[in-house]
Amino acid sequence: MKGIAHFISGVAAASFFPWSIRAAQDGNPLYLVLGGAFGLLPDTMDFKFYRFFYPHEIYVDPDPRQPDPQQIADAIAEGMKRALREKKTIRVKLNTIRLGADFWRQYGIRFDAEKGEVSVAIGPVVNTGQVPIPGTLERERTASAALPCRIVQTYDAVTTVDIFDGPTFAFEPSGDNEVTIHFLPWHRHFTHSFTLAAAWALLGWAIWSWKAAVVIFLGYSIHILEDQLGFMGSNLFYPFTRKRRAGLHLMRSADALPNFATVWTACLLIFWNLVRYGENLLHRISCADLLIYGGILPLGAFYLLLRLARRWGGRVEDRDLDLSSEWGDPLIG
């Protein structure tokens, strides 16, 4: 989910405790702030810190003047060969192709388990908003390389590389002539574990109180549970577990409806807890009214508008190489 959804979920979790609401009414928003901050902290640790210290064995740095799809495909295949040969996990970093202050050359990667190959397609130039610049895709340049073994995919088969920082793939030998592909292996690893949530809670207890510890643990854990609804999953009990547990595949992190529904529901819960625990309120509202008028009707209207927008927008034709982002957003129309 998006950062705002994780943040507001943490605030909503903190609002379920009467002491959080009453402290806020007295001018001390500490517990609500802690809930939101620790609801956002797992991804902050990953994207703002950990990824910059993560080691890689192979760096792929395409030529911005004439990016060669064959070079990229061969480097990925070589990473798998090394993983088999050295019997250890090999991490391959795909760098982005920056052309200017606001321009990037896009390219797509597809792992095809049935054909036993990896394909690369050079796409158009896009701006930092990931919008293609008209006329920048003169002809689609593609290439492929045979993979040296069977592959097990734990995420999408197609990944787009375009703006800011490129993705990392970890190739882990997982059997006889078999490699498991891990997408963004540095993400949702030790940072997304309930044991780390407990450690942060103990620190909060030492600094503030047991009440702060409860809010910290719940806000942090809500983030982990929300991420388990997606595809990548998390390493739930690091260091007792070493691998990410697969998600439930119910949504993607950039899906509009789940993100909107989460933010909206969290705001409703905060409002409801303010009504329940607040003092000297001028108006009260029933739980039924809150669910119907605040939840079911607005979310239902948003769902219908989303369906209509997709219908009016038409269907995107299938491509030989689907250039969709690692989060599932179509970037090329």
Per-residue pLDDT tens for 11-64? 999 999 999 999 998 999 999 999 999 999 999 999 999 999 999 999 999 999
Using CA of residue 94, residue 158, residue 81, residue 152, what is the dihedral sign? Answer: positive
Low-confidence ranges of the chain (pLDDT < 70): 138, 280-284, 313-333
> Residue 309: what pLDDT?
81
- 71 near 62, Cβ under 8 Å? yes
> Residue 327: what pLDDT?
33
* 35 membership: H or E segment, kind and range: helix 30-48
Whole-angstrom Cα distance, residue 121 to residue 110? 9
> Residue 324: what pLDDT?
37
Structure tokens at 214: 């409860």
Measuring CA to CA, which residue among 80, 96, 89 is closest to residue 56?
89
Q: Which residue has the tokens 């409703």?
A: 268
Whole-angstrom Cα distance, residue 102 to residue 113? 35
The 10 Å CB-count burial string (b at 16+, else e) for 175-201 is: eeeebbbbbbbbbbbbbbbbebbeebb
> Residue 139: what pLDDT?
73
Structure tokens at 60: 């792929």
Beta bridge partners of 79: none
> Residue 221: what pLDDT?
98
For the stretch 104-134, pLDDT in tens is 999 999 999 999 999 999 999 999 999 999 9
Whole-angstrom Cα distance, residue 180 to residue 170? 8
Measuring CA to CA, which residue among 319, 303, 253, 330 is closest to residue 1?
253
The 10 Å CB-count burial string (b at 16+, else e) for 76-85 is: bbbbbebbbe
* 326 membership: H or E segment, kind and range: none
